[in-house]
Amino acid sequence: MKATLHFSLLSLLVQLSVSSAWADVPPPESRFGKGETPVKIQKPVEGRPAPEDRAEADFLKELKTGVQITELGRMRATFVFDELASDFETQVTEAFSDADFRVFSKGNVIQGRPEPKALHEMGNDRYADLVIYTKVSGRAKPALGNLKLYEAECTMQVYNPMSEELLVSETARVDGKRHADEIVAVRTAGEAAVAAATKELITKTLEKAHKILVHEAQLKGVVDHQHLLEIMEYTAKLKGVYHVRQLTYDKSTGLAVIEIIGAPQTEVFWRAYLNNLPKREKWIIDVKHIRILPNERLRQKYPDWSREGK
């Protein structure tokens, strides 16, 4: 199987030349952290399953009303590869997982350069917060005796699937290792270019999204869909929030699950938020009905998240 993949990689690299059209260009200003673009409120598409199983929190099972807010982690990323880049899917997704992004589902493999509209649709189909597109091309360089050498170019781009906005772009062009085995020469070039582009792309993405987390809010006792909409609209106005997504709502139990994507906050912030949620006659939340669960692993890894006003 590996030999087949490497042969495919070799044949494509031999045919392709490095494209100047994919030179690294400065991406447009990102809306991350700007607070200038209206916050998106996203409702689930009928019939589309949630990206993860969201069982009712144990804390809420014996309560008629209550709220649990959990820091799940960094944003969910889905991946799109051109045909040549698909051989490097594991390398790319592992790098993003190691950087604490939430990596879900197998990536899409497409022919040609995708339009932002197509990436928007792919991202929303996967409930993704980011869509990572990877393209690889390359060319043979002069051999040294029987030692062959290849140069590979990898371009990676990060899109916001909600706005179709290009957030980050990065291109790396790297020589592989000279080798008598042409397959090895090709593979080392591709792996090196992908590694270099991925590293810089993650760095640039974290500069824009360093302090953006996905929070899950389970709200028990939500009266009806209008009540839930009011809660989501109120949530969208919070400082540091840039996206609110409804995952599930069961009117028979009053349990709603929403995702709040924004800056990590203190427990004091969340308690103030809950105290000011849109009220209903049967919507009575007191301190005994609230649980805040920070992501301790990430907070220890990034201690500045816990600083007030940062």
Q: Is the pTM of this model over 0.75?
A: yes
User: Are 134 and 190 within one domain?
Assistant: yes
pLDDT band of residue 306 (cuts 50, 70, 90) is: low
User: What is the chain's percent helix, strand, coil content, to nearest 5?
Assistant: 35, 30, 35
Please say whether the beta carbons of 185 and 143 come within 8 A: no
Which tens digit of pLDDT belongs to each residue from 147-206?
Answer: 999 999 999 999 988 777 889 999 999 999 999 999 999 999 999 999 999 999 999 998
41 within some domain: no
Helices (H), 138-291: 182-209, 225-236, 267-275
Cα–Cα distance measured from residue 101 to residue 217, given in angstroms and rounded to the nearest whole number: 19
25 within some domain: no
- Over 70: is that where the pLDDT of 49 sits? no
What is the CATH classification number for the domain harbouring 79?
3.30.160.150
pLDDT value of residue 304 = 78
Final residue before a domain boundary, out of 150, 182, 209: 209
Per the structure, how many domains does the chain have? 2
**Domain with 226 in it:** 49-73+212-306
pLDDT value of residue 105 = 66
53 within some domain: yes
User: Are 186 and 119 within one domain?
Assistant: yes
251 within some domain: yes
Which tens digit of pLDDT belongs to each residue from 236-289?
Answer: 999 889 889 999 999 999 999 999 999 899 889 999 998 888 888 877 777 678
Strand 66-73 relative to strand 213-220, pairing: antiparallel
User: Are 91 and 64 within one domain?
Assistant: no
26 within some domain: no
Which tens digit of pLDDT belongs to each residue from 189-211?
Answer: 999 999 999 999 999 998 887 78
Cα–Cα distance measured from residue 248 to residue 226, given in angstroms and rounded to the nearest whole number: 14
Q: At 230, is the secondary structure helix, strand, or coil?
A: helix
Final residue before a domain boundary, out of 157, 184, 209: 209
What is the CATH classification number for the domain harbouring 246?
3.30.1360
User: Are 152 and 233 within one domain?
Assistant: no
Which tens digit of pLDDT belongs to each residue from 77-128?
Answer: 999 999 889 999 999 999 999 999 999 767 888 887 778 778 778 887 778 8
